[in-house]
Amino acid sequence: MGNSGSNSNEKEIGSKFAEGEHPVGFENKSATICYANSVLQTLYYCEPFRRRVLEYRSTESSNDNPILLLQDIFNMIGSFKKKQGCLSTKKLMSYVKDKNEMFRGDMHQDSHEFLNWFLNEVNETLQKKDKKKDGKEMTSPTPNPKLKRKTWLEEIFEGVVTTQTKCLTCQTTTERDEPFLDLGIDLEQNTSISYCIKNFSNAEVLKDDDKFHCDKCKGLHDAEKKVLIKNLPNTLIIHLKRFKYDDQLKRLVKLNYKVAFPSDIRVEANKETGSYKYYDLYGVVIHIGPGLNYGHYVSAIKTNNKWLLFDDEYVTLLDERQLANYFGHSTHTKAAYLLFYQAVSEEKEYKTPLNPNHEERKMQDEN
């Protein structure tokens, strides 16, 4: 479903952009692929990702290669002649539905699941190309991750978390590194993204049915578990965990918690060194609706210092202050679901949250 744009709005958007800049919507004739359209728009406006997709070369058939199919779409956007309009993603979505039965049919799908699956699909394509380039397949069953050559997708989106588990009997701590392409964070009502990220590394006690098997003690024991951010990516995708299983209702319910997200953030990049990475917000995928299997997705994207709202075929201008409408609220179902932050090279002074009147309980001063 889309929001019917007006001719005056189309003229206004057209007048705001220089020659060669054309915000383009995506068709959604079946009213079932908004979950993909919203993600594809945010990927297009991720400049390092778009550049590498457009530079990509392969002798494979485009019908069997997700990067070439995406490249076709990106090229069509770049060569679009009208000031505003929409394009079809039919070929790419045919590939998606052929490869993954979860995205077939007319059911409403999860944009986070699509994002995660699609990025991994692209990455596997790059890894296969690297293996062919090397002239051999990896034969070691447990290759050293430090010797693993990163793909360009991993260079853009991949971070690393370290899980530390301390046996409370012998005090031995074990560590396990795990890469991520998006950082999933739990939410609390009336807080902020910065606060929720800080809570990401809070300790959890494993006991009762969740006891930890300690190799040193040779048995199950109570343990303390912490997940620490070890390395942060250049483009940080934050997945707000808005859907939670309700034991009484026996289904997933949506958490419309109010969680403020600023236009720029500082995130601790390594607990051991105390270093930080600085990011600017450029994209938000928004879920509108009562639950995971019902509703609609749109994306708000910043390009050339202007915010636009992409609603399938329609593109409209968005005042930055309107982003506060997507913090989440108990009286409506519009809420940010995926946040896209791009790393910036220099440290800078923080802006206030997008809603200056928003009071964040438990929120500590960032500076």
Domain ranges of the chain: 7-133+150-344
Q: What is the pLDDT of residues 24-48, one digit of tens each?
A: 999 998 888 999 999 999 999 999 9
Instruction: Pick the range with the lowest mean pLDDT from 20-24, 29-33, 105-109, 328-332.
Output: 20-24
- Give residue-wise pLDDT tens across range 125-140: 999 887 776 655 444 4
Contact 180, 158 (CB under 8 A): yes
Helices marked H in 158-281: 193-199
Contact (Cβ atoms closer than 8 angstroms) between residue 186 and residue 199: yes
3-state secondary structure of 285: strand
Q: With contact defined as beta carbons under 8 Å apart, do 200 and 158 qualify? A: no
Q: Which of 22, 34, 46, 221 is catalytic?
A: 34
Percent of the chain with pLDDT over 70: 83
- Give the whole-angstrom CA distance, residue 315 versus residue 303: 13
- pLDDT tens-digit profile of 2-24? 443 444 445 556 555 655 567 89
DSSP one-letter code for 332? B
In contact, 216 and 170? CB cutoff 8 Å? yes
The catalytically annotated residue of 221, 239, 287, 296 is: 296
- Residue 353 has a pLDDT of 42
The domain defined by 7-133+150-344 folds into Cathepsin B; Chain A (3.90.70)
**213 classed as catalytic:** no
If pLDDT is split at 50, 70 and 90, which confidence band does 352 have? very low
293 has a pLDDT exceeding 80:
no
Residue-wise pLDDT for 210-229, tens only, equals 899 999 998 899 999 999 99
CA atoms within 13 A on the CB side of 254: 23
Which run of H or E residues covers position 226? Answer: strand 223-231
Q: What is the pLDDT of residue 147?
A: 59
Q: Which of 104, 45, 110, 108 shows the shortest CA–CA distance to 73?
A: 45
What are the pLDDT digits (tens) for 45-66?
Answer: 999 999 999 999 988 887 889 9
HSE (side-chain half, CA atoms, 13 Å) at 156 = 20
Q: Are 279 and 265 in contact (CB under 8 A)?
A: yes
Q: What is the pTM of this model?
A: 0.86
Q: Is the pLDDT of residue 239 over 60?
A: yes
